[in-house]
Amino acid sequence: MCRLRIKGRFFNLSIINVHSPHMGSDADDKDAFYELLDREYRKCPKHDFKIVICDLNAQVGQEEEFRPVFGRFSDHQQTNENGLRLIDFATSRNMAIRSTFFQHTSLYKYTWRSPNDTETQIDHVLIDGRHFSDIIDVRTYRGADIDSDHYLVVAKLRQRLSEVNKIRYRRPQRYNLERLKDPEVATQYARELEAALPDEGELAEASLEACW
């Protein structure tokens, strides 16, 4: 298990990469694994874009009662015991198993080929609910030379940035004071200024509140 934090200009990305115990492992080992995963997840800053990419040895089915934790396009009908543990973790952390939300043929859903050539979908990509729609696709690629019985799983991300309201700069109005050197302009300015100001008698009689 490893956790990577990538700092960005507009957002930070926390990625947790894990390999869970297989189906035949002891329940205590599985419990310890998910406790460790939960601790690592809680270390991620609250506002980070959080992703868990994992070989979880977990088959996720299509049972209605577990939605919306997973989508309609898992390649399995029934969730196995490891899958139930994964769903429990995802539910507790408001995450979605995003690798089950995209409609692809089985060829691009299978992530592992067993020694007897059985193929299954046991590697998954999880995303925190706040950024659910920022993963726009998950699928496997079979042509990658990675020396593994697992196929390469690729997730496409789209980061949406909030539009920042720009404060419009207003250029201050400039006055041509040189014109006041012209006697006619100065006289006209004084006349208009006097007309705009209140009469001294009215000002004296006005209350403070009225003047304000």
What is the domain range of residue 183? 179-205
Is the domain of 114 the same as that of 22?
A: yes
Is the domain of 42 the same as that of 143?
A: yes
Is the domain of 40 the same as that of 100?
A: yes
Q: Is the pLDDT of residue 112 over 80?
A: yes
pLDDT digits (tens, 9 = 90+) for 54-73: 898 899 999 998 988 999 99
pLDDT digits (tens, 9 = 90+) for 146-201: 788 899 999 998 875 545 455 555 666 777 777 778 888 778 878 887 777 766 55
Q: The pTM is what? A: 0.70
205 pLDDT band, cuts 50/70/90, is low
Give CA–CA dist 173/185, Å, rounded: 19
Classify residue 165: in a domain, yes or no: no
Q: How many domains would you assign to the chain?
A: 2
Q: List the CATH number of the domain containing 20.
A: 3.60.10.10
Copy the structure tokens of residue 100. Answer: 């089950």
Classify residue 166: in a domain, yes or no: no
Classify residue 136: in a domain, yes or no: yes
Give CA–CA dist 135/125, Å, rounded: 9
